[in-house]
Amino acid sequence: MARIGVVPDTPYFMTEDGLPWTPIGHNDAITWPDLAPLFRRRDMAAVERHLRHLRAHGVTCIRLMLEYCHGEHRYFERPAGHFAPNMVRLWDDLFALLERVGLRVLLTPYDTFFMWLRWARHPYATANGGVCAGRDTWLTCPDTRRAIKNRLAFASDRWGGSPALFAWDLWNEIHPAHGGDDPAMVAPFIDDLSAWLRTRERQRRGHANLQTVSIFGPELIRHPTLVDPIFRHPTLDFANTHLYEHGTIDDPRDTVAPALAAARLMRAAVDAAGPSRPVFDSEHGPIHSFKDRKKTLPDAFDDEYFRHIQWAHLASGGAGGGMRWPNRHPHVLTRGMREAQRALADFLPRIDWSRFRRRNLAGALRCDDPGVAVVGCGDDAQALAWLVRTDTITPDGTLGPGDAAKDSSLTIAGLADGRYTIVTYDTARGAILSRGRATSAGGTLVAAIGPVRRDLAVAIAGTPAGQAEEA
């Protein structure tokens, strides 16, 4: 396995040997069904089979918390400053399995959600012999800062050299409440932690792992000043948000509105991050339906909801399809979601990510079928679009067959004049629907794409001068 970096001046990732790499995956946890057998090595073979199953379905990365403190038995430190041997061995074993299978992990050191809710029991609380008097001082307390660095130093020294480590999510869902309800505390915290870890890793290994900081997306609306440190902080390598919009993504009533909401939110994220910084959603899902309404979505509905969000995310300019928080009982993704991930992985080679300097193309795309919404991104030589029907939503919230759909065309503004290959793709079956040619003239390309019966993806690629067109 090779380490992961960012393509120079391009908002996507690559391996150190120059191959495109895309984060396709989901959130998991060391206490959830698929990884729980790691603890005390109860069934290592089952975990390896699971990881190989993920790899076979196009998954490249899972997001994990070093400590998931929903209960009392998986604290990484207990007491503070003492790293629990069982947990260290668990992570040793997991990194070895990830390397063997060829998967990577986006790793965040703290489960700040349950750490906040269950602070009275956390080993860092002074009431338990820890270093921090209150959860509202996590970002500002000097003793807590030293404890955070101590944990990151341990993890970096032990696993930071593994090619299975994709990146550090330095702080999960950073929030003003972690610093006395003052948004101004966020940037200095990132300044210190990011620079310190980068320096430490370079001194020890000659290179630093990629870094990001995640945020609960609605906080960007409540606190607009957080846009700058989250999306443009100079020491972070990529931008990361959690797409939980109220009433659409967090509590879906159909499978289309959440995807169009994800597209709108990702457009804002892509614009905020700028043209050369990768950005993706590392957490989304029906959290209000599941957590508050105690409802697990029906498989068929949830599979389509998942697939639509995935393609809206990619087509909006995000790296990959976003990373679902399962919000299901049991807390795992469905078979249909795994098939959707494999379909996405199979589509990716249709775009040359190593030179795709995309911008979001909202306003520059149009389908002549009025019942179809279009999401897309592109540069002057390539484009990617996802089209979905909005007029065939059935009473159960899924899309009807769209049998009456007519042949349609897609208009794209901004492509350089020349010849282009057009590939349409069935996102449900993971299969190419058609291949065609089109010519851009005067900066506008009109491509025949056939009928949009439910949803489909389109890849548009120009042929460089002197190179034969694809057969």
Angle at 240 between CA 234 and CA 243, to 5 degrees: 150
User: What does R_g of the chain's alpha carbons equal in angstroms?
Assistant: 22
pLDDT digits (tens, 9 = 90+) for 267-290: 999 999 999 999 999 999 999 999
Q: Does 467 fall in a domain?
A: no
Q: Rounded to an integer, what distance in angstroms lies between the CA atom of residue 269 and that of residue 265?
A: 6
User: Residue 270's domain is classified under what CATH number?
Assistant: 3.20.20.80
pLDDT, mean of residues 11-23: 97
pLDDT tens, 385-401?
Answer: 999 999 999 999 999 99
Give the pLDDT confidence score for residue 263 in this predicted structure. Answer: 98
Comparing C-alpha atoms, which of 41, 93, 91, 92 is closest to residue 67?
Answer: 91
Kindly state whether residue 19 falls inside one of the protein's structural domains: yes
Examine the domain organization and report whether 263 and 365 are in the same domain. Answer: no
Q: Is the pLDDT of residue 262 over 60?
A: yes
Name the domain boundary from 311, 337, 355: 355
Number of domains in the chain: 2
Of 237, 233, 126, whose CA–CA distance to 188 is shortest? 233
Question: The tokens of 433 are what?
Answer: 């629907």
For 353-378, write each residue's pLDDT tens digit: 999 999 999 999 999 999 999 999 99
Report how far residue 347's alpha carbon sits from residue 5's, in angstroms, rounded to the nearest whole number: 22
End-of-domain residue from the set 334, 355, 376: 355
What whole-number distance in Å separates Cα of residue 444 and Cα of residue 466?
22
Task: State whether 308 and 366 are in the same domain.
Answer: no
Give the CATH number, domain containing residue 413: 2.60.40.1180
Residue 14 is part of which domain span? 4-355
Q: For residue range 296-335, what is the model confidence (pLDDT) as tens digits?
A: 999 999 999 999 999 999 999 999 999 999 999 999 999 9
Parallel, antiparallel, or unpaired for β 372-378 and 418-426?
unpaired
Instruction: List the structure tokens of 305.
Output: 């909801």
The answer to whether position 471 is within a domain reads no
pLDDT tens-place string over residues 68-93: 999 888 999 999 999 999 999 999 99
Identity at 276, one-letter amino acid code: S
| CB proximity list for 192: less than 8 A, separation 6 or greater | 145
- Same domain for 116 and 204, yes or no, is yes
Helix (H, G, I), strand (E, B) or coil at 433: strand
The pLDDT, as a whole number, for residue 296 is 97
Q: How far apart are CA 201 and CA 432, in angstroms?
A: 44
Supply the DSSP symbol for 36.
Answer: G
Q: Name residue 444's beta-bridge partners.
A: 413, 441
Residue 58, classed as helix, strand or coil, is coil
